[in-house]
Amino acid sequence: MSDHKTMTLTLIVWRQKGPNDPGKFETYTAKGITEHHSFLEMLDVVNEDLIKEGKDPIAFDHDCREGICGMCSQVVNGVPHGGQERTTVCQLHMRTFKDGDTIYIEPWRARAFPVTRDLIVDRSGLDNIIQAGGYTSCHTGGVADGNALLIPKEIADYAMDAAECIGCGACVASCPNSSAMLFTGAKVAQLAALPQGKAEAAVRVCAMTDALKESGFGNCSNHYECEAACPKGISVKFIARLNREYQKALLK
Amino acid sequence: MQITNSAVGRKLLMAITGQLMVLFVIVHMLGNSSIFLGANGINAYAKHLHDLPPLVWAFRFSMLAFILVHAWFGIQVSVENSAATPKKYSVQKHLRATLSSKSMIWTGVIIALFVIYHLLHFTVHAIPGVVTGVDAIGRFDVYTMVVNAFQSGLVPVIYIAAMIAVFLHLSHGVGSFFQTLGWNNANTLPKISNTSRGFSFVLLLGYIAIPVVILAGILK
Ligand code: HEM
Ligand code: FES
């Protein structure tokens, strides 16, 4: 580390003891933060201070801290993951803030994502959607030869772009309707594009969009907030694909 | 799930009925513009339209069906969407949503109220003060009715305000139609959105030209 200039920040953090607690904002001071700290490391520093003072540390979700697992989930100053393009909050660095800043930190807010504690929400609604059809049924047996099924490069790329979703739920968190249509669209499009997924495409799109509704997510109004908030830059073209797949399913 | 319950199916029904109404809105604006040809223009146009009663009624029933289907699902999805978001953020920054996309239900309700008022006014002639007469050759005098209504008072304000609501609704709605039908891709989406806004603005100008020109005393 170069020089050790540090920042002092004011954090206004959502604290909630459990799903039934009404919750409230608490104000904390983050001291000794350098520009090299990630946002989560900054919270680690604050938590250490809280623990030393005998107070309850701020609970937040995290795992890989390298932007690939999709666990971290905080709305920072009104934008999921803090609003730096294609960046999860674990990869957001404190160099994007300056000394004296006030930062609001809230959990994902959606009926389908109940708060478990502080900044942690229960995202099993997304699992329901995947369980409804986000897979391909296949026969067991020997491993198929890697090149037995030829897939054109453009299709493979398209499917990979859709498969970039890490399931963090920022699309839901940013959506004015708390819809999970980007999440669902990415999976529907990825599988419908590939030969392995085509067979079940019609059943899948209906089952997954029904599960979306039943899990308490809203409907898509084409606001496109999701695309802007997605840390993986998943395009809303996959929602358009889902809409096309749904129409094909209607004709079946 | 049935199309009438599905998250996507209902949007599809709304998009198609909405877009059919947009076709009407375009034709209606062009038809109304015959007022700029003077009394002869618009009175002849109105007479031609009403010379075919079965067609007029078929058309009216279709429009009623479209608006009912559209409004029914519009209200239903809007209620669900706000129920899906029970707690709002204390601080929220929208990156892409617009005033127009966020106010669809409100501009929609304003349009519905306006349609009722407009029918009572120029179709049923039940609004006090509306001038109903015939022109020199015995046709219903649409020209005088419209010019008289828009010369002063609250009426032109109501019409202009309603057209602003239509503009906001369609600024988002027309582009949204292409996404809901899936008739776009990452490349065409921004172009379609901008064209949709431009198109809605042209409609706005076309519609408000009539009250504005009458208020200005150019048509009398
Ligand atoms: C009767 C009053 C109306 C109501 C209550 C209403 C309501 C709505 C709502 C709430 C939406 C957004 C749905 C969503 O994306 O979640 C919408 C979309 C739309 N509306 Fe309306 N609307 C009305 C009248 C109209 C009229 C008269 C037109 C056409 C001239 C129209 C054209 C459209 C279009 C094209 C869309 C876009 C559909 C899509 O998202 O794909 N609406 N309307
Ligand atoms: S902790 Fe894994 S993506 Fe942020």
B2-215 maps to CATH 1.10.490.10: no
Would the CB atoms of A223 and B101 count as touching at under 8 Å?
Answer: yes
Token representation of residue A219: 């409907």
Q: Note whether A7-116 and A123-137+149-251 share their fold.
A: no
Mean pLDDT of A35-60: 97
Q: Chain-wide mean pLDDT for chain B?
A: 96
The model's pLDDT over B150-199, given as tens digits with 9 standing for 90+, comes to 998 999 999 999 999 999 999 999 999 999 999 999 999 999 999 999 99
Q: What single string gives the DSSP state of each residue in chain A?
A: ------EEEEEEEEE-SSTTS--EEEEEEEEEE-TTSBHHHHHHHHHHHHHHTTPPPPP---SSSSSSS-----EETTEEGGG-TT--GGG-BGGGS-TT-EEEEE----TTS-EEETTEE--HHHHHHHHHHSS-----SSPPPTTSS---HHHHHHHHHHHT-----HHHHH-TT-B-HHHHHHHHHHHHHSHHHHTTHHHHHHHHHHHHHHTT-B---S--HHHHH-TT---THHHHHHHHHHHHHHH-
Would the CB atoms of B179 and A221 count as touching at under 8 Å?
Answer: no
| Residue with CA closest to ligand 1 atom 27 | B21
Look at residue A207 and tell me whether its pLDDT is greater than 60: yes
Look at residue B15 and tell me whether its pLDDT is greater than 50: yes
What does the pLDDT read at residue A3?
A: 58
Inform me whether the C-beta atom of residue B175 falls under 8 Å from chain A C-beta atoms: yes
| Residue with CA closest to ligand 2 atom 3 | A67
Look at residue B1 and tell me whether its pLDDT is greater than 80: no
ipTM associated with this complex: 0.94
The model's pLDDT over B48-94, given as tens digits with 9 standing for 90+, comes to 998 988 999 999 999 999 999 999 999 999 999 999 999 999 999 99
Would the CB atoms of A174 and B85 count as touching at under 8 Å?
Answer: no
Inform me whether the C-beta atom of residue B101 falls under 8 Å from chain A C-beta atoms: yes
Inform me whether the C-beta atom of residue A188 falls under 8 Å from chain B C-beta atoms: no
Query: Measured between alpha carbons, how far is residue A142 from residues A139, A145, A194, B32, B168 in Å?
Result: 10, 9, 20, 71, 58
A123-137+149-251 maps to CATH 1.10.1060.10: yes
* Ramachandran category for residue A81: left, alpha or beta (phi over 0 → left; psi -120 to 50 → alpha): left
Structure pTM?
A: 0.95
Q: Which helix (H) or strand (E) element contains residue B11?
A: helix B7-32
Look at residue B40 and tell me whether its pLDDT is greater than 50: yes
Please count the residues of chain A. 252
Mean pLDDT of B190-216: 97
Query: Ligand 2 site: residues with CB under 6 angstroms?
Result: A 62-65, 67-72, 88, 90
Mean pLDDT of B127-147: 93
Instruction: Identify the CATH homologous superfamily for domain A7-116.
Output: Beta-grasp domain (3.10.20.30)
Inform me whether the C-beta atom of residue B218 falls under 8 Å from chain A C-beta atoms: no
Write down the domain spans for chain A: 7-116, 123-137+149-251
Q: What percentage of chain A exceeds 70 in pLDDT?
A: 98
From the CB of B176, is ligand 1 less than 6 Å away?
yes
Q: What's the CA-to-centroid distance between B105 and ligand 1, angstroms? A: 8
Q: What's the CA-to-centroid distance between A168 and ligand 2, angstroms? A: 8
